[in-house]
Homo-oligomer: A and B are copies of this chain.
Amino acid sequence: MANKQILVSEVGPRDGLQSIDAILPTEIKKNWILAMVDAGIQEIEVGSFVPASIIPQLADTAEIVEYAITIPNLTVAALVPNLRGAINAIDSGAHKISIPFSTSETHSIRNVKRTHEQMFDEIKKVSDYINNNNCSTHLEVALATAFGCSIIGEVPEDLVIKSAEKIMEAGSKEIVLSDTTGYGDPATVKKLIRKLQSAIGKDKINGIHLHNTRGLGLANAFAAIEEGITTIDSSISGIGGCPFAPGASGNIVTEDLVFMLDAMGYETGIDLEKLFSIRNILSDAMPDEPLYGYTIDAGLPVGYKY
């Protein structure tokens, strides 16, 4: 059989927490990360290197990275919006850094205060810094709002493809396709992955980042897997919510994703029962925060082998 391994890349400590008012104490974050690794999670985006004034929930990212890299068998990723953030992430020892590039330029300007041209420059600066300093840090760029933008609406497919090409020229090692707004559907996911694969090379697009805003998250994940995607971002209990859509959940739910992959016969290395138990850490730490997911409530099927 072809590839039967999928890497579940947990983004709860970054994408999840940044949308939640509560500021989680650093010690709880550390326990949470350790519990996730114990459950078999092999990659975690643990925070963002952005000013604490902008995202106070992630102000302790450097300390979290420094702790997380001491845990065996874990790839520690962090989001960085610019060179300054990248240098801080590299200094902290992050294995992987991810720069968000909004294919909607309007969103880019609002999100990171940079035009597309400025972002290509910034990506090049980060790439040059890594190369000039012989860093082992892996640089990837998240192709954000690739399925549409909640400010301007549709983002032309040509712009998405051209952006990806320029990002790779600027020195990114990899593109992660990102449905920031939960606008994606399975047919468009498949079409866009195929076009990106032929534009930048099949081995340059391995990951996808999905939101479950309109309930299509797992359908989109399945569509992506069918096109050869091998890394899927998700967050435990779907934490984070969606600031612009009350009642709509945030990232796809790790527990349900792992159940789906497991049931389909993919190896994730993750122990579902241990994964379920992590919810307690979150409900204790953030009792007012809604937690999402179906499998944890329904339970595993009778006679389920995993």
The answer to whether A265 touches B153, judged by C-beta atoms less than 8 angstroms apart, is no
Q: How many residues of A contact B (CB 8 A)?
A: 47
The answer to whether B148 touches A213, judged by C-beta atoms less than 8 angstroms apart, is no
The answer to whether A294 touches B213, judged by C-beta atoms less than 8 angstroms apart, is yes
The answer to whether A215 touches B303, judged by C-beta atoms less than 8 angstroms apart, is no
Q: Does A109 contact B (CB under 8 A)?
A: no
The answer to whether B215 touches A302, judged by C-beta atoms less than 8 angstroms apart, is no
Known: A222-B186, A222-B223. A298 touches B263 (CB 8 A): no
**Complex-state Cα separation, A214 to B245, whole angstroms:** 23
Question: Which listed residue, B219, B298, B302, touches A219 by the CB 8 Å rule?
Answer: B219
Question: Which listed residue, B183, B253, B259, touches A301 by the CB 8 Å rule?
Answer: B183
Residues of B close to A265: CB separation below 8 A: 187
Task: List the number of copies, as a whole number.
Answer: 2
The answer to whether B256 touches A294, judged by C-beta atoms less than 8 angstroms apart, is no
Residues of B close to A253: CB separation below 8 A: 215
Q: Does A229 contact B (CB under 8 A)?
A: no
Q: Does A172 contact B (CB under 8 A)?
A: no
The answer to whether A297 touches B248, judged by C-beta atoms less than 8 angstroms apart, is yes
Residue-by-residue, is A28-40 near B (CB-CB < 8 Å gives 1, otherwise 0)? 0000000000000
Which chain A residues (206-259) contact chain B, with CB distance < 8 Å? 212-216, 218-219, 221-223, 242, 245-249, 253, 256, 259
Shortest Cβ distance from residue A258 to the other chain B in the assembled complex, whole angstroms = 11
Residues of B close to A214: CB separation below 8 A: 256, 259-260, 294-295, 298
Question: Which listed residue, B185, B264, B299, touches A185 by the CB 8 Å rule?
Answer: B264
Q: Does A152 contact B (CB under 8 A)?
A: yes
Known: A222-B222, A302-B152. A260 touches B185 (CB 8 A): yes
**Complex-state Cα separation, A151 to B153, whole angstroms:** 47
Shortest Cβ distance from residue A305 to the other chain B in the assembled complex, whole angstroms = 9
The answer to whether A215 touches B218, judged by C-beta atoms less than 8 angstroms apart, is yes
Shortest Cβ distance from residue A219 to the other chain B in the assembled complex, whole angstroms = 4
- Known pairs A153-B301, A216-B260, A216-B263 / 16 extra A-B pairs, C-beta < 8 Å: A148-B301, A183-B301, A185-B260, A186-B222, A186-B264, A187-B263, A212-B294, A214-B256, A214-B298, A215-B218, A215-B293, A216-B256, A218-B219, A222-B223, A245-B297, A248-B297
